[in-house]
Structure 1
């Protein structure tokens, strides 16, 4: 069953064209020139109940505009959006009861209240029955390990603690769909894994539909089965995450710091991309070898003091898709 339907949807804005110089500024004041900007251009996709979907693109690609149309914040210029059978911008209140949202840079929790009190407020706002709230609350506390700071005011929490509480709050009312925008941004490895594990379990156990937008490809790989890639307002890829990463995201770069410059450095598990003094960049295929294997090989022959693993950038993946399709 399709829980989300996006049919021939476009979203355009009128933007004032700023002319140069003092004279141009005067002209803009009395006779402005407006130009149309297409944020989203005739996109089509559907999402089934229980799907876990990564929706990615570079900055300004149109992904945030799409999410705002799905949540009812924006109205499509053309086409139709259906979420749970509702047109979100026409039925914003009904739509809001069936969805959850997490925006990495914006809190939905009350700053001076403890997590416990914020959750109680969500219970009344969404009119969650007592038995459902108790069950959901206990599950969130257990899976996201909230017990250690459950009585702490939000303003006293670390970023990782706050984001775990934000994610929990989005699921308290048992929504059928949850939209997550950069839920792991700025978090350490442990906090990221806690959130990813929770999303996997809640999607599998409750068939909650998850729409995840992020610049962290590890989020996509570990949480989502399907990927939508948008660029310049156009949907350019719709398919399985595994297939996409095999085709476009398999390449990794590891930067290794040695105690001293090494001449003619070599590893059978990758290709030396560049070398500057005692810092060497090595390209390798993730499907063929792991980063620890490369480090083990290098450390056995050279004095390694530090390393850094680089994940593929969204912009790089978009470029690869275009190169293969052109």
Structure 2
């Protein structure tokens, strides 16, 4: 493995045996290929988005990378370690945040969870306090340290989980839906913290999410998985081009008007003074907004990102028919 590659997968597979009921007291065995021959490398210090529809194999990949699951085939290494064979050793070098599960102790104050991790990971005292102080400051956790985890909001708990994953200075951080269910302010705090972490510490980040804004603001590279196979690996702009995805500009006019006629966009819906315009996701919205503002009495606007599942479904359908 190239010393610059912190993560390496070669033809990795994960097959589950599933038994389905086919009649009274009868069951048939089926194989489900959750991950089907995936190969990729992630260099040290890179932030990569790993996206796809529900059931595509994203979380299964993360679980194999952390040693929770053992691959059915292929070769997998993280920092030169086979995760399933040396899970304890690997734990010292990785951090994991599962958006829908917490690693914190539910009935204990937040600070007690951190103290337990201090002991579990055998973090030197000075290093622990430096990392804790930094996370508390940047993630705004100071007022929450004495609050039981069960009393935290989802956004507060998520920030608490991210801090917990970083106390031992992991080389790799796996984030599985880290902004799911968060409000706009909480999302902005989490994204800002992750950008700073990567820039200052060079932490390698593998991020799975359904929110394209997470990818746009954090990752230069994106990988798309569907039906357990890697469909795309490259820049986000390239994904939009391959999938021919579109963003939607929602424009509130000062009064009700016929559908607008604007270059490089088309009106897809009109409700009173509000109009929805679709435009290529790979293009900047700024020129479109300027053209509308010059010709129409605009009161307000917002931009809606393309649906990842729709983009990937289109890519998959096109590949299946090619």
State the TM-score, normalized to the length of structure 2. 0.89
2:184 pairs, out of 173, 189, 212, with 189
5+ residue gaps, structure 1, are none
User: In 2, distance between residues paired with 1:60 and 1:151?
Assistant: 38
Q: State the match for 2:201 in structure 1.
A: 206
8 Å Cα contact 2:48/2:222 also seen in 1: yes
5+ residue gaps, structure 2, are none
Shift of 1:198: 0.9
8 Å Cα contact 1:50/1:209 also seen in 2: yes
Q: State the match for 2:210 in structure 1.
A: 215
Q: Is 1:175 paired with 2:170?
A: yes
Q: Is 1:147 paired with 2:142?
A: yes
**CA RMSD for the aligned pairs?**
2.6
Classify 1:109/1:295 alpha carbon distance in 2 versus 1 (closer, same or farther; 3 Å): farther
User: In 2, distance between residues paired with 1:282 and 1:67?
Assistant: 37
Q: How does 1:1-326 map to 2 (within 5 A)?
A: 1-19=4-22, 24-26=23-25, 28=26, 32-245=27-240, 248=243, 251-256=246-251, 261-268=256-263, 270-276=265-271, 279-285=274-280, 287-290=283-286, 293=289, 297=293, 301=297, 304=299, 309-322=303-316, 326=322
Shift of 1:37: 1.4
Classify 1:291/1:18 alpha carbon distance in 2 versus 1 (closer, same or farther; 3 Å): farther
User: In 2, distance between residues paired with 1:185 and 1:299?
Assistant: 38
String of CA shifts for 1:109-146, please: whole Å, max 9, x gaps.
12222222221111111110011111111111122122
Classify 1:156/1:296 alpha carbon distance in 2 versus 1 (closer, same or farther; 3 Å): farther
Classify 1:17/1:115 alpha carbon distance in 2 versus 1 (closer, same or farther; 3 Å): closer
Classify 1:324/1:298 alpha carbon distance in 2 versus 1 (closer, same or farther; 3 Å): farther
Shift of 1:319: 3.3
User: In 1, distance between residues paired with 2:16 and 2:84?
Assistant: 17
Residue correspondences, number: 316
Classify 1:266/1:15 alpha carbon distance in 2 versus 1 (closer, same or farther; 3 Å): same
Q: Give the secondary structure class of the aligned counterpart of 2:92.
A: helix
User: In 1, distance between residues paired with 2:76 and 2:43?
Assistant: 14
Shift of 1:6: 0.8
Classify 1:37/1:298 alpha carbon distance in 2 versus 1 (closer, same or farther; 3 Å): farther
User: In 1, distance between residues paired with 2:68 and 2:17?
Assistant: 18
8 Å Cα contact 1:10/1:41 also seen in 2: yes
8 Å Cα contact 1:269/1:289 also seen in 2: no
8 Å Cα contact 2:248/2:304 also seen in 1: yes
State the TM-score, normalized to the length of structure 1. 0.88
Q: Give the secondary structure class of the aligned counterpart of 2:105.
A: coil
Shift of 1:283: 0.9
